[in-house]
Amino acid sequence: MLTELQKKFFSKLKIPPRENVKFEDLHRILLKMGYLLPYENIDIMEGNTKEFSRENIEEKLLLKNRGGLCYEINSLLYYFLCDCGFNVYRIAGTLYDPKTRKWNPDDGHALIVLQHKYENYIIDAGFASYLPLHPVPFHGDSVTSVTGEYRVRKQNTEKGTHVLEMKKGENGETSHFFDSDLSDTWSIGYAFYLNAINEKKVNAIQNMVIEHPESPVNKANIICKLIEHGHIALTKQSFTETRHGKKIKKEITEKQYHQILKNEFNIF
């Protein structure tokens, strides 16, 4: 029997419902999430956040025309994978800014560890435009998507025991976030420990990204999602479209912002 969340999840992603979701299906699910669940911080910028809970996330992401931030999108996926019988748990990561070479506030990112056939994988559907779109294995092999190339490495830092690294793909596949572009060399996206986190910790992550003066997502509206062969990003001032690794950025008006929000991101 499918849970109500599973039924709504399949419906939202326009995937025929099925009880036996396999590891091999995860790429398609992550791809669909990238297309249909934008990464966005509108609630934070408008002061409309609710306490984090499974019910609130289900309502916002599956019943309304909305997206969310890492802890919302990845928690929704975590609940779905749990309901499907996968061996998963949530962890917290700390983002690294390659431009400033500084760490963002501690534990500002929530993501998923999945265990399959004695191997650990990172599952991350909520890292802004940086979407691997595949489970990323811990044994060092990289995965490539339209947004770049990704790998996990065991590396002790002041913020964790492992890092997720990223760079431009071999065919120029690239992503960007807040004008921070991927380069041809590996750079750290975030570091993490493998300690499982609970709802209370996820609430703490939400409060931190709302309130912390150095949080990257409480300064201005940012909305982004996957499109065919690339991705799009929207702020109140600009609209950026990247296809086949080529980026076009244009300045926009307030009226255009609301039109693009509705027409391109289906948020209204």
**SS3 state of residue 260:** helix
CA distance linking residue 6 with residue 16, whole number of Å:
11
CA distance 169 to 147: 8
| pLDDT for position 108 | 97
Distance CA 15, CA 240 (A): 28
Report the alpha-carbon distance of residue 248 to residue 250 in Å, rounded. 7
Task: Identify the pLDDT of residue 200.
Answer: 97
| Structural domains of the chain, ranges and CATH numbers in brackets | 4-263 (3.30.2140.20)
List of E strands, 44-194: 87-97, 102-103, 109-116, 119-123, 136-137, 143-145, 148-157, 160-167, 176-177, 180-181, 187-192
What pLDDT does residue 180 have?
65
- Predicted pLDDT at 178: 57
Looking at residue 114, its pLDDT comes to 99
Give the DSSP H/E element, type plus range, for residue 29: helix 26-36
Q: Which residues of 229-268 are buried (b: 16+ CB within 10 A; e: fewer)?
A: ebbbbbeeeebbbbeebebeeeebeeeebeebbeebbebe
**How confident is the model at residue 170, as a pLDDT?**
75
Count Cα atoms within 13 angstroms, Cβ side, for 104. 25
Instruction: Give the per-residue pLDDT at 145.
Output: 92
Token pair of 211, please?
A: 């309130």
Please give the average pLDDT of every successive group of 10 residues along the chain, which has 268 residues: 97 96 98 98 97 97 97 99 99 93 96 98 96 96 94 98 92 66 87 98 97 95 94 96 89 98 96
What pTM does this model have?
Answer: 0.96
111 within 8 A of 126, measured Cβ to Cβ: yes
Q: Residue 176's pLDDT is what?
A: 64
CA distance 217 to 242: 21
Q: Any bridge partners for residue 151, and if so which?
A: 165
Q: Report the candidate in 155, 133, 154 with the shortest Cα–Cα distance to residue 144.
A: 133
